[in-house]
Amino acid sequence: MTKPSETREKAAIAFILLTLFIDILGIGIIIPVLPELIKSFVGGDDSQAGWYVGLIGASYAFMQFIFAPILGALSDRFGRRPIILISLFGLGIDFLVQGFAPNITWLFVGRILAGVMGASFSTANAYIADISTSETRARNFGFVGMMFGLGFTIGPALGGLLGGFHLRLPFFVAAGLSLVNWLYGYFILPESLPADKRSNFSIAKANPFAAMRHLGVYPIVAGLAIAFVFTSLAQRGLENVWILFTGFQFGWSKQTNGIVLALVGIMAVIVQGGLVRPAIKKFGERGTVILGLSINALAFLGYGLATEGWMIPCIIIFGSIGGLAGPAIQTIVAGAVKPTEHGKVQGALTSLMSLTNIPAPLIFTMGLFSYFTSDRAPFILAGAPFLLGSLLIFIALIVVLQVFRRLPKEDPEKSETAEAKAE
């Protein structure tokens, strides 16, 4: 018979996963229409629109960098529930601001606010860490990755469809989803952090640089954070250059890219939703991280050297197994950190990810891709950004191996016992 506490825990996990899905869906929905809306504000000037797209994107990432540790530290002090609900409500209002924006200034304000409220990813991850046990942690973080895959699969497709009816409609749909989710959470979402496990809030804890320095308290988390920076920078580079690369190298249309990106999302759902627990059971948390990073490095190398379009879906299917690294890293981090500091640590990791969003377009798009597809280059190599990405992930793999080598070995019997209890 299912205990009431287990029922509430399942309801809480379902809500948090739905929250993450709607957050990612909201981001994905506006991807196809945001550049077009910006163009409408600048008279259709592609060059000027491109400049604003870059500026707004960097501002969004910067606000996430600043506010992720603030929201994380606030959730350590006041609990996860109020921070999540405030962020959801704020995100809903923010999408309305963007939808009604009469000019580029108001759209800019809306995207800045979106960066603040979107920093709640750290609180959602802290919530998952709070309510997960050693037996369910890997599975739950795998579900988190699955939500990201679903959101980025459905979001852009839905945004393109809605944008065909009206350019601003995706913003209003995203607002409605966020506000309905806030209302649902207001009545359903329980608090995950007991009062006796909360910590005091201070400006020092909320400082993104101080929060990142605090990662050094946990040696394994600090080492993984360094690797996280390298892999995140590679991934942000891929996202920034992908459309330009496939158009230049293979002449792909928007429709072709849409289909291929949908394959990325489908594979993410399969891997994150179905393979994380079996992989960790077989290879352990650390072994799964090493396997995932190794495959990611090879996949980026494959993208960089691909000469025919048919190769890309094959690499995507193979490379999707690299997605095992993310949940395994989160599982290790959640197991190493004290309950009172989950929010702060998750906030620091989110800040690191946001920080890599700022230089990625400069390095991968404006730097490598522009140079190696121009007459100035000694040879044409559109895949140069992916080769750098492969190198960065390989460096991350070396860092991880060094970190694991200095720490006690995992206890296979303990892992197997935990998995057996979860069955």
Instruction: Give pLDDT tens digits for 303-312.
Output: 999 999 999 9
User: Is pLDDT larger for residue 126 or for residue 290?
Assistant: 290
Q: Provide the domain limits for residue 231.
A: 4-189+205-422
Domain annotation covers residue 78 = yes
pLDDT tier at 3, thresholds 50, 70, 90? low
Domain annotation covers residue 194 = no
User: What own/partner pairs with CB < 8 Å and gap ≥ 24 does 378-382 have?
Assistant: 381/304, 382/245, 382/248, 382/249
Name residue 341's amino acid. E
Most confident of 29-33, 179-183, 309-313: 309-313
C-alpha to C-alpha distance for 84 and 86, rounded to whole angstroms: 6
Domain annotation covers residue 233 = yes
The structural domain count of the chain equals 1
Domain annotation covers residue 196 = no
Mean pLDDT, range 357-376, rounded to an integer: 81
pLDDT tier at 63, thresholds 50, 70, 90? confident
Q: List CB contacts of 268: < 8 A, sequence separation 6 or more.
A: 145, 146, 148, 149, 150, 152, 153, 320, 323
The yes-or-no verdict on residue 419 having pLDDT over 50 is no
Domain annotation covers residue 337 = yes
The yes-or-no verdict on residue 384 having pLDDT over 70 is yes
Which CATH number belongs to the domain containing residue 69 in this structure? 1.20.1250.20
CA distances from 81 to 7, 116, 231, 237 (A): 18, 17, 30, 34
Burial class (CB in 10 A: 0-12, 13-18, 19+), 86: middle
C-alpha to C-alpha distance for 152 and 119, rounded to whole angstroms: 17
User: Is pLDDT larger for residue 258 or for residue 97?
Assistant: 97
Q: Is 346 helix (H, G, I), strand (E, B) or coil?
A: helix
Most confident of 64-68, 206-210, 257-261, 375-379: 375-379
The pLDDT of residue 102: 92
Any idea which of 2-6, 110-114, 144-148, 400-404 has the lowest mean pLDDT?
A: 2-6
C-alpha to C-alpha distance for 85 and 82, rounded to whole angstroms: 5
- Ramachandran class of 43: left when φ > 0, alpha when ψ lies in -120 to 50, beta otherwise: left
pLDDT tier at 276, thresholds 50, 70, 90? confident
Domain annotation covers residue 55 = yes
Place of tokens 């197997």: 416
Q: List CB contacts of 58: < 8 A, sequence separation 6 or more.
A: 357, 358, 361
Q: How many CA atoms lie within 13 A of 210 on its CB side?
A: 12
Domain annotation covers residue 367 = yes
The pLDDT of residue 201: 72
User: Is pLDDT larger for residue 24 or for residue 213?
Assistant: 24
Q: 195: which 2 tokens? A: 């009062």
Q: Would you say 71 and 83 are in contact if contact means Cβ atoms under 8 Å apart?
A: yes
- Residue 126: closest CA among 335, 351, 343, 349: 343
Mean pLDDT, range 4-27, rounded to an integer: 72
Domain annotation covers residue 32 = yes
- Residue 214: closest CA among 319, 343, 97, 24: 343
C-alpha to C-alpha distance for 323 and 343, rounded to whole angstroms: 23
**Is-above-0.75 flag for pTM?**
no
Q: Would you say 37 and 100 are in contact if contact means Cβ atoms under 8 Å apart?
A: no
The pLDDT of residue 414: 45
